[in-house]
């Protein structure tokens, strides 16, 4: 398993209100993910980005970070082998991502994910 990209997942109470702040005030480019509970903003010209999450659609907790990996099944097996707490089971979500949430030893919840087309 190799990490491809890391994304900050910032929990916000109101996605619509947050969009106005991050796009209008900070000038970030919004990316429509087609979901009402999460949105992504990109720093123009750099590719750096942040996701805003109100309440995850299927998990009981919101993650702090998302790690996109090249083999999520391998990452899941390794997390289980090491005895890490799986907060959200390995799931293929309807919006095109296969993922699980794991709690790091410091208590941080991480979303380990792979797009289905990879």
Write out the two tokens for 50: 């942040």
Write out the two tokens for 65: 């970070």
**Model confidence over 22-66: pLDDT tens digits?**
999 999 998 878 888 999 999 999 989 999 999 999 999 999 999
**Whole-number average pLDDT of the chain:** 93
Rounded Cα gap, residues 21 and 42, in angstroms? 13
The domain tally of the chain equals: 1
| Prediction pTM value | 0.88
Rounded Cα gap, residues 28 and 49, in angstroms? 9
**Cβ distance 14 to 20 under 8 Å?**
no
Structural domain range at position 105: 3-115
Which residues neighbour 104 within 8 Å (Cβ) at sequence distance 6 or greater? 84, 110
What is the structure's pLDDT at 79? 98
The CATH number for 63's domain is: 3.10.180.10
């Amino acid at each position: 398993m190799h990490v491809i990209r890391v994304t900050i997942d910032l929990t916000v109470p109101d996605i619509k209100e947050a969009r106005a702040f991050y796009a209008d005030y900070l000038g970030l480019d919004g990316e429509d993910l087609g979901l009402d509970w999460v949105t992504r903003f990109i720093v123009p010209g750099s590719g750096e980005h942040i996701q805003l999450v109100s309440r995850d659609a299927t998990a009981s907790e919101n993650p702090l970070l998302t790690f996109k990996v090249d083999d999520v099944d391998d990452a899941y097996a390794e997390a289980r082998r090491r005895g890490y707490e799986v907060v959200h089971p390995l799931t293929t979500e309807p919006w095109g991502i296969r993922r699980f949430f794991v709690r790091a030893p410091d208590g941080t919840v991480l979303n380990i994910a792979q797009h289905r087309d990879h």
